[in-house]
């Protein structure tokens, strides 16, 4: 887009943002990774002296000035804190791995929709047995940079459902998106819940949960089963739908 070739006084919505792992402090000079250097110079066509925004999930968001040193090196001088670190509402996503294109959508959209953690879970009807968590991590970093988040969701390694539940902290309640069983329509189910606390949204594989999985989940006191409308949703749509409902009622979309 032509908007990308804007001068240094571009507004914060269109400014290039980079997630970094080091501390962010006034007047520090930091070095871009080779990937970030390539992205700034070749993809975004940033010129020497232009501004970029940095965040690390701990120290808020900072403005930094690009200083290229020849072709091989790109420094960034941290000039100004734009906003302090904020703690967004805490909602994890538990999901059964699906094929790559849908999984990329899930990682990107759930990051845009504010999740704190991605927990891939292996269920009875999960067809996809290999989960590329490195790919998921790179997707969530890119989505966090582009969605103006101040942190990046944690990506867990996949675990079997039984294992996940065995070590689950019961104070983190789960909204289970079930197509069958005792599920309540999601607007009514969420209307019953007082905002606050830690949550997770759980989505099954394309084939749904098995009856025994649903029975087991329904017995857990921290699980609320919900229905996402009368039509059948693909996994990525279901993830987006459940998270949007959650943010609307219990998260940071109000007011």
108 binds its own copies (CB under 8 A): yes
Binding range to its own copies, per CB under 8 A, among 54-62, 167-175, 214-222, 240-248: 240-248
Pairwise CA distance, residues 68 & 79, whole Å: 16
112 lies in the binding site for its own copies (CB under 8 A): yes
**131: contact with its own copies by CB under 8 A:** no
Region binding its own copies by CB under 8 A among candidate stretches 55-63, 73-81, 213-221, 246-254: 246-254
Scanning 67-75, 160-168, 169-177, 223-231 for contacts with its own copies by CB under 8 A, the matching segment is 223-231
Strands 61-69, 73-83: parallel, antiparallel or unpaired by DSSP? Answer: antiparallel
Work out whether 114 is an interface residue with its own copies (CB under 8 A): yes
Question: Pick from 109, 140, 175, 183: which binds its own copies (CB under 8 A)?
Answer: 109
Residue 1 interacts with its own copies (CB under 8 A): yes or no: yes
Count of residues touching its own copies (by CB under 8 A): 43
Instruction: Considering only the stretches 25-33, 52-60, 69-77, 142-150, report the one whose residues sit in contact with its own copies under the rule CB under 8 A.
Output: 142-150
Q: Is 152 in the site for its own copies (CB under 8 A)?
A: no
**Interaction with its own copies in 163-182: which residues (CB under 8 A)?**
179
> Given the rule CB under 8 A, which residues bind its own copies?
1, 3, 13, 105, 108-109, 112-114, 125, 127, 146-149, 179, 185-188, 206-207, 228-234, 236-237, 240-241, 244-245, 247-249, 251-255
């Amino acid at each position: 887009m032509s908007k990308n070739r804007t001068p240094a006084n571009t507004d914060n919505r269109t400014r290039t943002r980079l997630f970094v792992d080091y501390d962010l402090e006034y007047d520090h000079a930091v070095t871009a990774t080779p990937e970030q250097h390539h992205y700034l110079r070749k993809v975004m066509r940033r010129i020497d002296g232009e501004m970029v925004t940095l965040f690390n999930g701990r120290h808020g968001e900072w403005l930094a000035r690009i200083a290229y040193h020849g072709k091989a090196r790109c420094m960034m001088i941290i000039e100004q804190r734009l906003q302090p670190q904020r703690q967004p509402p805490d909602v994890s996503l538990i999901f059964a791995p699906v094929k790559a294109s849908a999984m990329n959508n899930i990682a990107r959209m759930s990051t845009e929709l504010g999740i704190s953690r991605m927990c891939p879970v292996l269920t009875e009807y999960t067809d996809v047995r290999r989960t590329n968590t490195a790919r998921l991590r790179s997707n969530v970093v890119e989505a966090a940079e582009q969605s103006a988040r101040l942190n990046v969701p944690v990506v867990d390694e996949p675990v079997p459902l039984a294992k996940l539940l065995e070590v689950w902290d019961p104070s983190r309640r789960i909204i289970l998106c079930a197509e069958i069983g005792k599920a309540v329509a999601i607007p009514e189910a969420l209307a019953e819940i007082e905002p606050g606390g830690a949550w997770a949204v759980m989505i099954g594989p394309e084939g749904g949960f098995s009856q025994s999985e649903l029975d087991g989940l329904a017995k857990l006191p921290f699980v609320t089963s919900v229905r996402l409308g009368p039509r059948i949703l693909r996994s990525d749509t279901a993830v987006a739908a459940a998270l949007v409902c959650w943010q609307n009622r219990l998260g940071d979309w109000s007011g």
